[in-house]
Amino acid sequence: ALLPILRYPDPRLHKHAAPVAVVDDSIRQLVRDMAETMYEAPGVGLAATQVDVHKRVVVIDVSEDRSTLRAFINPEILEKSGEQTCEEGCLSVPGVYEKVTRAERVKVRALDERGEPFELEAEGLLAVCIQHEIDHLDGRVFVEYLSPLKLGRIKARLAKKARITA
Ligand SMILES: O=C(O)C[C@@H](Cc1ccccc1)C(=O)SCC(=O)c1ccccc1
Ligand SMILES: [Zn+2]
């Protein structure tokens, strides 16, 4: 099912997600709904926080042909190296694309949809996306890395847009 995506600056985007205790059918259904929502947006990633479910679940698909869905449950970054500055977007902050500097490579450990632990070394957009999504689980939104001046302008623009659509 398509899930509604919270829009910044919704305070629920700043809640800290709780670890998943058991990867059961309800978590697998959440992964399916998040994947459907991500592909429809469209996006290359989605964190459960963004659909107001405060559990540590992330889906990512950075493949060109949108055919490689990856689920990360209770993801943890084990190692980070290098630096890269990448233009990022966010489904919770529509229409805003800004450069953010993050680690170039990450080694991440997570559970898959079967509840099996796995480790993945990622670089490029996949590494950027993993860091962006884990930030969501920790209640962080990428625009908060920008200067206060830029963040102020973004908030003003979003507030204006919200007023018109309201
Ligand atoms: O808000 C999110 O987590 C999704 C976000 C993930 C992300 C994108 C780029 C850099 C870092 C993190 C998005 O997917 S924004 C939309 C987007 O970038 C995109 C959409 C369709 C095709 C390719 C990219
Ligand atoms: Zn985002």
pLDDT digits (tens, 9 = 90+) for 140-165: 999 999 999 999 999 999 989 888 77
pLDDT digits (tens, 9 = 90+) for 72-93: 999 999 999 999 999 999 999 9
Pick the residue whose CA is nearest to atom 10 on ligand 1.
88
Residue reference for tokens 């500055």: 85
Ligand 1 pocket test target in 3, 44, 128 with most atoms within 8 Å of CB? 44
pLDDT digits (tens, 9 = 90+) for 2-52: 999 999 999 999 999 999 999 999 999 999 999 999 999 999 999 999 999
pLDDT recorded at residue 164: 78
Is the preceding omega at residue 117 within 30 degrees of 0, hence cis? no
- Name every protein residue with a CB atom under 6 angstroms from any ligand 1 atom: 42-47, 88-92, 128-129, 132-133, 136
